[in-house]
A and B are shown apart, each in its own frame.
Chain A
Amino acid sequence: MSAPQGLEARARSFLAQPWVGPLVALVSVYVLFAVLTPETFLRGIALETMARHTVVVALCAVGMTLVIVQGGIDLSVGSVVALVTVVTASAARAGHGPLVAALAGMAAGALCGALNGALVATLKITPFIVTLGTMSGLRGLAKGLADEQKIDADARGLDGLMMSDEASVLPVPPGVFIALAAAVAGAVLLAFSRFGRHVVATGSSPATARLSGISIPRVTFLTYALAGLMAGVAGVMEFSTLTVGDPTDSLGLELEVIAAVVIGGGSLFGGQGSVAGSLLGAMLMTVIATGATHLGIANWIQEILTGAIIVVAVTVDRWRHVA
């Protein structure tokens, strides 16, 4: 009739893992492109490029996962990344070393996140509106700080974070490892720490969380501040890629990041989502964009494809949950 109880239960619990769906999607899309363009898509350099192109979205997605699981949203992430490239470039141009410049950028990101968190926690306005406001405000600040120009600065070695060194033994540049480390830290924090449990509880049911003695403003503030810090790290990586501070950079990045989290099983109603899933979601979008270019597909078809895959992935995920 059916498989033994224990096996079926184990299979069910495996399938119920939030990252299984995106993993299956990623592997199938990857295999599809690999079959269609075996001579270019399977090469190491293609993999290295894809890994590098995923770093910024992935880092932001780690923070966004926390925010979305907590029941919020952060639309300002693209503006924060642009602001961080400007701050990092300004610090480098002012003669500071790579470490100071990177720390200044990350601090700027964390401050932006803290601002979001403080506003959401105190104003009792939905995070969508608060971060819609900071999205515009921080973008303006980035443009003002940069004097409405790109900031040309000596990258002071920071460009090495996102550049593969032929002499290096590592197959991918340090930035990829930093993103992976951040993802592991984020996943551990969300799944195993007290703070992580409070984030999930707040997102699942704020009323219950409050009754169990969780300080919701504190959890909210910390969640957004952490997301800001992640955007700060992402901004440093973006500067490393660009070697200039660009206040117009990363327009619309927030949508890519949210898409990654949602493809990865995050629920915009809060309480659900995993860092691993979001990471897979981010990779899936890079693979689609890269594969489409390898196939020589025109840009407009790529955009339609990406949109379709987002909807299909999330539909399949919901259906899997119901089944």
Chain B
Amino acid sequence: MRRRELLVGGVGLAGAAACGGKSNKTRIAVIPKGTTHEFWKSVHAGAIKASRELDVEILWKGPLKEDDLKEQIGIVESFVSQGVSGIVLAPLNDKALVQPVKGAKNAKIPTVIFDSSLQGEEHVSYVATDNVAAGRLGGERLAKTLGAKGSVILLRYLEGSASTAQREQGFLEAMKANADLKVVSDNQYGGATTESASTAAETLLVAQGADKGQVAGVFCPNESTTFGMLLALEKLGLAGKVKLVGFDASDKLVAGLKDGKIDGLVLQNPLNMGYLAVKTMVQHLKKESIDKLIDTGARVADKENMDSAELKELLKPDLTPYLGQ
């Protein structure tokens, strides 16, 4: 299923603006930040779910590397030149994508922004987790686990990524509310890949004397930093000893939660996000009124609640009806 849609996307790009004769369906381009993270698979599934319900065609295409800004700008521009009906975009940068989105608007193609915010007023709606609130949720969870005292580390994700910067901000706000919690490091970034995150995490843990018990807890704002941190804690023999609250879910992170190596995972609802983003676009195209801001919600999963039906759906959503295999 997914392969076929990729193919459709590719053919669409090649065929450029000449397309449109074959299918009369509304064509909506959905552009994630990347395609390797588990998170985007769920977004993709949600987008497909909406496309089936609403009988529209979606074109899924994103840069493979999560921080390839130039490629993402190029993707937006090529969809504009193809003349799609609408663009649903998770911008890699809150400023750099303003111009391409404005270009789409000038070509009478509306854009719904999802996951990560965009400056300006060129887009019609913003569908996302309230990231500051979600970060605060993670911070509060870590504070509760640690009994509101001790030294904590924040490993940031990537310079210029708005959604994670807001989570980091929310986390730091939650830390400030507790006088006995001390953030000993908050200026180190994990970078784009799991490998870079795990190297940064390990160096940071050793630098702060985590192995001597000088670090009580850590917080990571997305999947790759959380997984990198988990690998680093495992390598240093600190998994479970240093409390880890992370973000998003994948097979290995869920296993970590079960083994007690991860204390909590802040979960967004990516399937719902992909679904609502496409749905909002369709509503806009049908000239129905839509909200400027749509919050898709966040929850914290831990060892106790992870088997409940509601969280199971967030931790390990069944994507096979949408993505196949």
Chain A residues with CB under 8 Å of chain B are: 37, 39-40, 43, 45-46, 49, 52-53, 143, 148-150, 152, 162-164, 166, 238, 241-244, 246-251, 289-290, 293-294, 296, 298-300
Contact = CB atoms under 8 A, between A and B. Distances in A.
B304 to A, nearest CB: 25
A166 B235 CA distance: 10
A289 B206 CA distance: 13
A248 B206 contact: no
A149 B235 contact: no
B36 A246 contact: yes
B7 to A, nearest CB: 13
B200 interface: yes
Contact of A148 (B64, B159, B185): B64
Interface residues of B, number: 38
A247 B6 CA distance: 17
A163 B64 contact: no
Contact of B195 (A45, A152, A242): A242
Residue among A143, A150, A163 facing the most chain B CB atoms (10 A cut-off): A150
Contacts of A293: 188, 200, 203-204, 207
A138 B208 CA distance: 39
Contacts of A152: 250-252
B209 A243 contact: no
B160 to A, nearest CB: 12
A299 B65 contact: no
A250 B195 CA distance: 8
Contacts of A143: 64
Contacts of B66: 248
Interface string B27-52: 00000001111100100000000000
Given A250-B195, A299-B159, A49 B203 contact: yes
Contacts of B211: 45
B249 to A, nearest CB: 12
A150 B37 CA distance: 7
Contacts of B202: 49, 52-53
Given A143-B64, A152-B251, A166-B237, A49 B195 contact: no
Residue among A162, A241, A250 facing the most chain B CB atoms (10 A cut-off): A241
A31 to B, nearest CB: 18
A91 to B, nearest CB: 18
A242 B198 contact: yes
Interface in B8-66: 34-38, 41, 64-66
B69 interface: no
A243 to B, nearest CB: 7
Contact of A149 (B35, B194, B207): B35
A238 B195 CA distance: 8
Contact of B236 (A45, A162, A244, A296): A45
B269 to A, nearest CB: 20
Nearest to B41: A149
Closest 8 CB pairs of A and B: A294-B207, A293-B203, A248-B65, A298-B187, A148-B35, A299-B189, A293-B207, A46-B206
Contacts of B73: none
30 contacts: A40-B207, A45-B206, A45-B211, A45-B236, A46-B207, A49-B206, A143-B64, A148-B64, A149-B41, A150-B38, A152-B251, A162-B235, A163-B234, A163-B235, A164-B237, A241-B198, A244-B194, A244-B252, A246-B193, A246-B195, A247-B64, A248-B193, A250-B193, A289-B203, A293-B207, A294-B203, A296-B187, A298-B187, A299-B159, A299-B187
Given A148-B35, A152-B250, A247-B36, 14 more contacts: A40-B206, A40-B208, A45-B211, A46-B207, A53-B203, A143-B64, A148-B36, A163-B234, A166-B237, A241-B231, A246-B194, A248-B64, A293-B207, A296-B207
A290 B194 CA distance: 18
A306 to B, nearest CB: 14
Contacts of B187: 296, 298-299
Contacts of B193: 246, 248-251
B195 A149 contact: no
B209 to A, nearest CB: 6
B67 to A, nearest CB: 9
Contacts of B192: 248, 251
B69 to A, nearest CB: 14
A289 B199 CA distance: 10
Contacts of B252: 152, 243-244
B234 A150 contact: no
B77 to A, nearest CB: 21
A250 B193 CA distance: 8
Nearest to A166: B237
Nearest to B251: A152
Contact of B194 (A164, A242, A300): A242
Contacts of A52: 202, 235
B159 to A, nearest CB: 7
B199 A53 contact: yes
Contacts of A243: 231, 252
A248 B203 contact: no
Nearest to A85: B195
A105 B250 CA distance: 24
Nearest to B211: A45
A16 B34 CA distance: 49
A299 B195 contact: no
A53 B202 CA distance: 9
A44 to B, nearest CB: 10
